[in-house]
Amino acid sequence: MADANRVDRPLSPHLQIYRPQLTSVTSILTRITGNGLIITAFLVVWWLLAAATGADSFATADAVLTSWFGDLCLAASTWALWYHFLAGLRHLYWDAGKGLEIHTAEKLGVAVIAGAFVLSILTFLVV
C-alpha cells in the first residue's frame, strides 16, 4: 500500500535545479578534452599515413589539416592538450591528499583553465 504522505519527487537533483560547481565542470571538461585528443591523434595518424601512401593521399589529408577547419581543430587540440596535462597534475596533487578543501580545489580549477590558455598562447607564439 502506498504512503499517502509521500511526495513524488526525484531522488537526485535534476539538471534544471542543479547548479554545477567548478570542480564538476573541470572534471567533465577533462573527460571531454581526453576524448577530443583521441580524435586529434587519429587525424595526425591519418596525415602521416597519407604522407607514406602517396602524393594524392597526402594532398587530401594536408588540405584538410591546413584548412581553416583543420587550423581550428589543431588550435583547440593545443588548448585541450595543455588543459588535460594540467588537470592531470592537479589530480596527482589531490592523490597526495593535498588541495582537497573546497576553496583550494576551486582555485586549482581556475588555475588549470587559465594555465591552459596561457600555455596555448605561448605555444602559438613559439611555434
Compute φ and ψ for 14, nearest 5 degrees.
-90, 160
Q: Domain containing 91: what range?
A: 22-126
Q: What is the CATH number of the domain that holds 94?
A: 1.20.1300.10
Interatomic CA distance for residues 33 and 49, integer angstroms: 24
Domain count, the chain: 1
Does residue 7 sit within a domain?
A: no
Which residue has better confidence, 7 or 30?
30
Does residue 66 sit within a domain?
A: yes
Does residue 6 sit within a domain?
A: no
User: Sorting pLDDT into bands at 50, 70 and 90, what band is 2?
Assistant: low
Does residue 37 contact residue 77 with C-beta atoms inside 8 Å? yes
Q: Which residue has the cell 592537479?
A: 90
Judged against a pLDDT cut of 60, whether residue 1 lies above it is answered with: no
Q: Which of 92, 107, 106, 112 is nearest to 33 (CA)?
A: 112
What whole-number percentage of the chain has pLDDT above 90?
Answer: 83
pLDDT at 44: 95
DSSP string computed for 16-85: TT----HHHHHHHHHHHHHHHHHHHHHHHHHHHHHHHH-HHHHHHHHHHHTSHHHHHHHHHHHHHHHHHH
Going 17 to 18 to 22 to 25, the CA torsion angle's sign is negative
pLDDT at 20: 84
Annotated binding residue at 84?
yes
pLDDT at 100: 93
pLDDT at 10: 64
pLDDT tens, 36-92?
999 999 999 999 999 999 999 999 999 999 999 999 999 999 999 999 999 999 999
Does residue 39 contact residue 32 with C-beta atoms inside 8 Å? no
pLDDT at 7: 72
